Structure 1
Amino acid sequence: MKSIELFAGAGGLGIGTGKAGFRPVEVVEWDDYCVETIRENQGRDVSIVKGWSLVHGDVRDVSFTRWEGKVELISGGPPCQPFSLGGKHRAHRDDRDLWSQAVRAVRESRPRAFIFENVKGLTRATFATYLSYIQLQLQYPSLARRDAEDWQEHLGRLERHHTSGAPLEYRLVTRLVNAADYGVPQRRERVFFVGFREDLGVEWSFPDGEFSADALIWEQAVTGEYWERLGVAKRDRVLSPRAEARARTLRKLGREAIATKAWRTVREALLDLPDPEHQPHASALLLNHRFQGGARTYPGHTGSPLDAPAKTLKAGVHGVPGGENMLLRPDGSVRYFTVRESARLQTFPDDYKFHGSWTETMRQLGNAVPVRLAETVARDVAGHLKAVAA
């Protein structure tokens, strides 16, 4: 199944859709470092990106009309800084807000489905009107904004069109999800926009996550099987007061009340990697696995505990925000995650190499979609597209 990937970044969403069975025929990205990351992996014959037709340029300069009716999927993550909790919150006033280009690509190519994602900040109350505007554009992409029309006027026209009883062009589902619920060893909340072309008649709901905090707490605080499986000494078995309190409730409910698998933790994700600080020679044999000194904690930035999913990896507006991308050991000491470790937490393949300095590669990873989450959503979409084509 053919697809187009917009705002590809380092490739997380595109790799995920590729693993789900889609074949990108056009991949658009303007950032030099991200493009070099993709090209370097293509040059290294990394199969998942080797066949990508990469366009290094501004999406605003790319026409998608030649793909009209010829692709099954468009996917992408329009730049999220305008809505990020760590950004400046400028939304539609920010030059990096490229949602209109995502809608244009849908309008010009008319894919059978689309998958777009963005940061949790887009769901904040202050952005509610603009979120509605994005949703209406995705449902009626042919109703384009006129040259002399500002976005509020366009929104009003879309609202009138929507309430007039006009038929939908795309059936849209919007859902805020936590990547940890889908087996990603990171608590990373993202909002997804998934749409199917109306003429396909697809009835779809977002796939449920199969992992939970409760299942992890049960294995750690009730049965202890988590610690035994990973060979963790009793002195290193650290639980938060909140987890201890939840465990008391779970003991009363019983394991049968938890119909999910345990959240994956930082310890599990990094278990077979050598410690870059104390095993530098072994670490040097792996891609992007080099110790970075200078980690320190400060209020609100205390690192990610080993025995829980990582906190959300951040790209930062002015470089890497230290406490957000650190490992917190049971003894209270901290160090920065290496690029390879961060890639593990974002579920990138181990043979995927990131181009640039530590700060630059961490920015790429902080902006990425976890590959496993992308694959889960895309695989479900692919299944529904195959079902209606059968």
Structure 2
Amino acid sequence: MFELRGGLVKQLRVVEICAGAGGQALGLEMAGFEHALAVELDATAADTLRFNRPDWDVRTGDVADEAVWKPEDFVGVDLLAGGVPCPPFSIAGKQLGANDERDLFAWAVELCGVVRPRALMLENVRGLSAPRFSAYRQHVLDRLSELGYVADWRLLQASDFGVAQLRPRFVLVALREEDARYFSWPEAASTQPTVGEVLRDLMEANGWNADAWTQAANKVGPTIVGGSKKHGGADLGPTRAKRAWAELGVDGMGVANEAPSAEKDPDFKPKLTVEMVARLQGWDETEWTFTGKKTSRYRQVGNAFPPPVARAIGLQIVAALNHDGEPRLTTESVTHDEIYRALRAADEPLTIAEIQGRVDDALTADEIKIRVKNLKRDFDVHEGEDAAGETTYKLGTFRAFVGQDEHIRHEYLAQMRSKVS
């Protein structure tokens, strides 16, 4: 919140897109933001938001559909935030990036040109931080710079903020120059909670003796996997994750309806309930209720951004907007892809040698070819030849959805809406 002249207080307002069941929303609320709007495609997740915050303006539908909401109605909001779809960047998928019909990251960035928020916060999976997407990230940084923002990325582990699972998330924060100088990333806590410590009381709710189990579950858990509507019921993820859960004394082959009974052997390996999974995501299950059937509730929880992580970042954004602390002397962003920048700045096609002359890194010809190959997966790159017969490269169109009326995502969403999550 801002304190104005005369002691008046201005509430900071946030518009949240792809809000899910409220993980990021709750964290930002705890940080001091008031929701001007929350938009979510999944009807059950939207119902969860309405159930817990009946006074919020929650819209259900495609966030890029102006029949659902009009961005121009929220010009000047303090924060635009969201957890845009992860499959385009997930290492568990094909990493199609800009070619994935579900990708909304670039569109969300363009939204800043309409809404003109003071700050932007977008979170996604760790895969977006990989070399495969360096050009995509550079495009985002450069586009935000053109729109008047200073942006930075950071890979954060949920376990560093009081959440008993690893859950790495790649977060983008952008602020206007006058505010960016006051932003710093949240610092990790000195200790990490274990699965046993966090879940013991829930495990013992029906009288089971969880002494031995709590001692065995003495580590941070693997990432909770919510999954998609396309695949089966609720369980704790792929084989590797199930193996890690087994080492913590948890049966990952499904989700239980209730805690173990008193009759169960102390060496019994219990399944987690939805309430336990919510606790592992950083929710206080007594303060937030998930609507729908068990599988839907599990997916809502598993696909969420942990509230404590959202709160930690949100507090840093609030501090920046309030100009708390000492400002930094510089707000320059880290360069993620010099090859992209060299091609983007060039008026004419460039050869490998010419690219080498325009970048600071000492890259070999083969390294540049590999980087160009990755770049081609998200951008049109036109190849030709110069007078000496050397291959030339010229950067073309970014293939991502940025609001085009004619784009494959519209047809995809119309056909697959019931399976999109």
Q: Per-residue deviation at 1:337?
A: 1.4
Deviations 1:319-342 (A, max 9, x none): 445454756329875333111001
Structure that is richer in helix per residue: 1
- TM-score for the superposition, normalised by structure 2: 0.62
Q: Does 1:7 align with 2:18?
A: yes
Q: Per-residue deviation at 1:68?
A: 1.6
Pick aligned residue for 1:186 from 157, 165, 189? 165
Partner of 2:88: 82
Partner of 2:38: 27
Pick aligned residue for 2:48 from 26, 30, 37? 37
Checking the alignment, whether the CA contact within 8 Å between 2:119 and 2:173 is kept in structure 1 is yes
Checking the alignment, whether the CA contact within 8 Å between 1:76 and 1:116 is kept in structure 2 is yes
Q: Does 1:315 align with 2:226?
A: yes
CA pair 307-105 structure 1, distance change in 2 beyond 3 A: same
SS of the aligned residue for 1:335 comes to coil
Q: Per-residue deviation at 1:357?
A: 2.6
Number of paired residues? 280
SS of the aligned residue for 1:83 comes to coil
CA distance in 2, matches of 1:199, 1:181: 29
Q: Does 1:130 align with 2:136?
A: yes
| Equivalences for residues 53-202 of structure 1 within 5 A | 53-61=57-65, 62-69=69-76, 71-141=77-147, 169-200=148-179, 202=181
Partner of 2:416: none
Checking the alignment, whether the CA contact within 8 Å between 1:75 and 1:115 is kept in structure 2 is yes
User: Identity rate of aligned residues, in percent?
Assistant: 34
Q: In the alignment, residue 307 of structure 2 is paired with which amino acid?
A: V
Deviations 1:159-183 (A, max 9, x none): xxxxxxxxxx111121001111111
SS of the aligned residue for 1:25 comes to strand
Deviations 1:124-149 (A, max 9, x none): 222222222233233334xxxxxxxx
Partner of 1:375: 311
Pick aligned residue for 1:329 from 245, 249, 269? 249
- TM-score for the superposition, normalised by structure 1: 0.66
Checking the alignment, whether the CA contact within 8 Å between 1:12 and 1:370 is kept in structure 2 is yes
Checking the alignment, whether the CA contact within 8 Å between 2:224 and 2:236 is kept in structure 1 is no
Pick aligned residue for 1:271 from 200, 221, 227? 200
Q: Which runs of 5+ in 2 are unaligned?
A: 1-11, 209-215, 251-265, 326-421
CA distance in 2, matches of 1:377, 1:178: 12
CA distance in 2, matches of 1:39, 1:266: 30
Pick aligned residue for 2:28 from 17, 23, 29? 17
Partner of 2:217: 306
Q: In the alignment, residue 64 of structure 1 is paired with which amino acid?
A: P
CA distance in 1, matches of 2:34, 2:312: 16
CA distance in 1, matches of 2:299, 2:180: 40
Q: In the alignment, residue 68 of structure 1 is paired with which amino acid?
A: V
CA pair 39-200 structure 1, distance change in 2 beyond 3 A: closer
Q: Does 1:345 align with 2:280?
A: yes
CA pair 86-201 structure 1, distance change in 2 beyond 3 A: closer
CA distance in 2, matches of 1:311, 1:386: 36
CA distance in 1, matches of 2:236, 2:219: 19
Q: Per-residue deviation at 1:79?
A: 0.6
Q: Tell which structure's C-alpha radius of gyration is larger.
A: 2
Q: In the alignment, residue 40 of structure 2 is paired with which amino acid?
A: E
CA distance in 1, matches of 2:23, 2:117: 21
Q: Per-residue deviation at 1:89?
A: 1.9
SS of the aligned residue for 2:276 comes to helix
CA distance in 1, matches of 2:295, 2:282: 19
Q: In the alignment, residue 217 of structure 2 is paired with which amino acid?
A: L
Q: Per-residue deviation at 1:274?
A: 4.0
CA distance in 1, matches of 2:100, 2:39: 20
Deviations 1:202-238 (A, max 9, x none): 342212112xxxxxxxxxxxxxxxxxxxxxxxxxxxx
Q: Per-residue deviation at 1:100?
A: 2.9
SS of the aligned residue for 2:270 comes to strand
Q: Per-residue deviation at 1:37?
A: 1.6
Q: In the alignment, residue 201 of structure 2 is paired with which amino acid?
A: D
Checking the alignment, whether the CA contact within 8 Å between 1:171 and 1:198 is kept in structure 2 is yes
